[in-house]
Amino acid sequence: MKYIFLLTLVGIMCFSCQKQDFIDTGKANGVTGVSILEYMKTDSYNWDTTRLVIERAGLTELFDGNDPDHEQIVFLGPTNLSILRWMLDMDYMKVSDIPVEECKSMILKHVIDGRFLKDDIPKGVKYPKEGGEDFDTLGDNKLWLYTFTLPYGGIPDAGPTFLYVGSYNLVDGTINVVVDIASHDIQCTNGVVHSLHYNYTFGDI
């Protein structure tokens, strides 16, 4: 019974996803004119819990554009549903229950120094793995990003292009998981947000 609120919220968000033919996790291909943190404040449905975890981690300056060591960042953003699902798995009832260092470590695994858009990422293939580009995160893990273009009307590479992120196993160099980017190229003054699909669970990369 003590988890009824989180379960209800996750259930509502899952049902909302199933009712739509697309997943709106942000303003794709949009220029926001504000910092990443300020952008999140404008979309509480997708980013409220994410923002609270960032603030608890002590990473406000990084996401507000006031970190001189990282003036531009790319955030592969886990949305509210991804974090709430993880909190249920970990028996955390509220963000303040999560240890500060755990918040920091997990958020930084989704942050890459610099700035890039979907069109900057090379094409790749998941199986067998080829192409794409490797990136080191501020959380000391390594990610593999690649784009893939579908055919259209029988013409190769004439359809829509999608962006994916894979997480490396640092022991054997294999790819642990590949996650869809639901909304890409959300451009902020201090970086770019590529928001992860609702089916992603926080911590899987």
Round the average pLDDT of the chain to a whole number and report it.
89
Query: With a threshold of 0.75, does the pTM exceed it?
Result: yes
With bands split at pLDDT 50, 70 and 90, how would you rate the model's confidence at 3?
very low
The reported pLDDT for the residue numbered 162 is: 97
Q: Which residues contact 135 (CB under 8 A, 6 or more apart)?
A: 112, 142, 143, 144, 145
Alpha helices in the chain (DSSP H): 4-18, 36-41, 44-56, 60-64, 80-90, 100-108
Alpha-carbon distance 84 to 32, whole Å? 26
- Contact present, 29 and 184 (Cβ < 8 Å): yes
Query: Tell me: the pLDDT tens digits for 141-199?
Result: 999 999 999 999 999 989 999 999 999 988 888 998 999 999 999 999 999 999 999 99
Where does the pLDDT of residue 128 fall: very low under 50, low under 70, confident under 90, or very high at 90 and above? Answer: confident
Q: What pLDDT does residue 90 have?
A: 97
Which domains can be identified in the chain, with CATH numbers? 4-196 (2.30.180.10)
